């Protein structure tokens, strides 16, 4: 479906009273996101429309009045279903804040017992309205106590009604080759990195590296590199650094290329993200 500007909108809030939380309101009538990950918990409220979204290799359907909860580091892509205009509110919450809330309401939390949810799609009208009130409080710049209280209550109710503490992680240790490549990409965001270089660094063939890296991270190395660049760019843009300077600092010589990639991973242009509001 082609873009209809009347059905496209995005706005961001970074509230100093809620450190570790980023809030957005979006409306789309087309695919806006490539598969990507967030370091934060993604807690979304669907106000209108519907989506069939990918979480890892599994599809999930969600529609108006439902919530979507996606854990940090989970590869996903949420776009409107064909013919649908989807409007939603999203909260990106630092994992440490969720762990703190879980420790208070569920018990001790550590790296081997993080909160988990049986399904990423949640039907809970009261919880939906609670998080909606938090969004409104942020949008109108309500008092710090109100916003912080709503956030704590929202996390507590989300966890007690729908979450649990997971057992020890069943995952095997990430292969050293993947750790080496990840570290190299993160340390050289502003440099051109070739597949041959990564293959030599990891000590495996190019083909084996591609398969191994995609299996462990859910993304091929080039997409993961762009994910890292965009994550860094978000931090710099939020500080108010010039867009052209940010583009160069994270490895894009061409600002238009930077804008295109940034939008593929965030659903917004760098200017929209930095200004907080743009129809």
pLDDT in tens, the chain (279 residues): 344 544 578 899 999 999 999 999 988 877 667 788 888 999 999 999 888 888 877 889 999 999 999 999 888 877 777 777 889 999 999 999 998 888 888 776 665 567 889 899 999 999 999 999 999 999 999 999 999 999 999 999 999 999 887 654 444 456 888 899 999 999 998 888 888 889 999 898 888 888 888 888 888 888 889 889 998 999 999 899 999 999 999 998 788 889 989 988 888 889 989 987 654
Question: Do residue 188 and residue 157 come from a single domain?
Answer: no
| Of 12, 86, 30, 94, the residue nearest 270 (C-alpha) | 12
Q: Which long-range contacts (C-beta less than 8 Å, at least 24 apart) are formed by 246-253?
A: 246/270, 248/190, 249/189, 249/190, 250/189, 250/190, 251/189, 251/190, 251/191, 251/192
Question: Do residue 142 and residue 23 come from a single domain?
Answer: yes
Q: How far apart, in whole angstroms, are the C-alpha atoms of residue 105 and residue 156?
A: 6
Domain boundary among 146, 165, 184: 165
Question: Do residue 40 and residue 93 come from a single domain?
Answer: yes
Question: Do residue 144 and residue 223 come from a single domain?
Answer: no
> DSSP for 11-31?
EEE--TTSTTEEEEEEEESS-
- The residue with tokens 């990840």 is 182
Q: Which residues contact 39 (CB under 8 A, 6 or more apart)?
A: 72, 73, 95, 231
Residue 36: DSSP 8-state = B
Question: Do residue 204 and residue 143 come from a single domain?
Answer: no
- At 210 the three-state DSSP class reads helix
Decide if 255 contacts 243 (C-beta within 8 A).
Answer: yes
Question: Do residue 200 and residue 261 come from a single domain?
Answer: yes
Domain count, the chain: 2
Statement: the pTM of the whole predicted model exceeds 0.85: no
**Assigned domain for 60 exists:** yes
Domain range for 67 is 5-165
Question: Do residue 153 and residue 18 come from a single domain?
Answer: yes
**Assigned domain for 171 exists:** no
Whichever domain contains 227, its CATH number is: 1.10.10.60
């Amino acid at each position: 479906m082609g873009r209809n500007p009347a059905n496209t909108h995005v706005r961001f809030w970074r509230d100093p009273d809620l450190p570790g939380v980023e809030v957005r309101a979006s409306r789309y009538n087309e695919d806006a996101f490539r598969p990507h990950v967030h370091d934060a918990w993604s807690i979304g409220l669907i106000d209108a429309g519907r989506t069939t979204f990918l979480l890892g290799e599994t599809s999930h359907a969600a529609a108006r009045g439902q919530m979507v909860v996606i854990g940090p580091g989970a590869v996903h892509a949420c776009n409107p279903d064909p013919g649908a205009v989807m409007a939603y509110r999203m909260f990106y919450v630092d994992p440490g804040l969720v762990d703190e809330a879980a420790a208070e309401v569920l018990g001790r939390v550590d790296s081997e017992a993080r909160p988990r949810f049986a399904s990423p799609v949640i039907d809970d009208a009261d919880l939906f309205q609670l998080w909606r009130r938090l969004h409104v409080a942020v949008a109108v710049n309500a008092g710090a106590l109100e916003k912080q209280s709503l956030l704590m209550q929202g996390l507590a109710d989300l966890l007690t009604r729908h979450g649990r503490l997971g057992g020890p992680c069943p995952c095997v240790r990430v292969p050293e080759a993947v750790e080496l490549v990840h570290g190299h990409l993160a340390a050289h965001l502003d440099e051109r990195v070739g597949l041959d270089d990564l293959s030599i660094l990891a000590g495996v063939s190019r083909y084996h590296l591609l398969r191994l890296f995609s299996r462990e991270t859910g993304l091929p190395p080039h997409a993961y590199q762009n994910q890292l660049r965009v994550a860094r760019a978000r931090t710099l843009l939020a500080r108010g650094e010039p867009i052209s300077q940010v583009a160069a600092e994270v490895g894009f010589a061409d600002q238009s290329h930077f804008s295109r990639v940034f939008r593929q991973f965030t659903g917004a242009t760098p200017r929209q993200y930095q200004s907080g509001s743009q129809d």
